[in-house]
């Protein structure tokens, strides 16, 4: 089987496009299984084709490698730069915002990375202020 670079596929097409591309491909379940093993997935022979594809793409589409506490400690500029440098997908940003129970409006979704950076930065600032107030 020809070597497939899932990470590059996700970079080019985004997570949703990569899933659609792999689902529309001629790759067999056995080939996807072998690809999953090479990528370090713990897949079983009985795993469904679509499940292997989603796991492959998900494993290679995670761009945020910081904990929520680390993100909350970052400034607005640091968060904006981080999201842009890491090329965080809209899907991953929406999942991150959901962890904070934040729901962007349709207007906010236009510049989702800016919205996420601003909101997370604000929450972090409020947490730092609250911690400082308790010490006094």
Phi, psi of 3 (to 5 degrees): -70, 130
- pTM recorded for the entire structure: 0.68
The pLDDT score that the predictor gives to residue 133 is 61
pLDDT along the chain (136 residues), means of 10: 83 89 93 87 82 88 91 96 90 92 93 96 93 63
The pLDDT score that the predictor gives to residue 136 is 45
Given a contact cutoff of 8 angstroms between Cβ atoms, the answer to whether 124 and 71 are in contact is yes
Strands (E), the chain: none
The helix, strand and coil proportions of the chain, stated in percent and rounded to the nearest 5, come to 70, 0, 30
The pLDDT score that the predictor gives to residue 77 is 97
In this structure, how many other beta carbons lie within 10 angstroms of the beta carbon of residue 92? 20
The CA distance from 106 to 109, in Å, is 5
The pLDDT score that the predictor gives to residue 134 is 58
Question: What residue has token string 């972090």?
Answer: 124
Q: What is the DSSP letter of 74?
A: S
């Amino acid at each position: 089987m020809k070597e497939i670079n899932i990470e590059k596929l996700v970079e080019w097409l985004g997570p949703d496009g990569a899933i659609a591309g792999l689902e529309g491909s001629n790759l067999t379940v056995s080939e996807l299984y072998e690809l999953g093993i090479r990528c370090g997935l713990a897949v079983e022979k009985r795993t469904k084709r679509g499940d292997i594809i989603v796991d492959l793409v998900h494993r290679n589409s995670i761009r945020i490698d910081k904990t929520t506490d680390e993100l909350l400690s970052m400034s607005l500029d640091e968060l904006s730069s981080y999201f842009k440098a890491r090329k965080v997908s809209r899907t991953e940003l929406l999942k991150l915002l959901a962890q904070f129970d934040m729901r962007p409006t349709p207007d906010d979704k236009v510049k989702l990375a800016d919205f996420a950076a601003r909101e997370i930065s604000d929450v972090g600032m409020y947490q730092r202020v609250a911690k400082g107030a308790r010490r006094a």
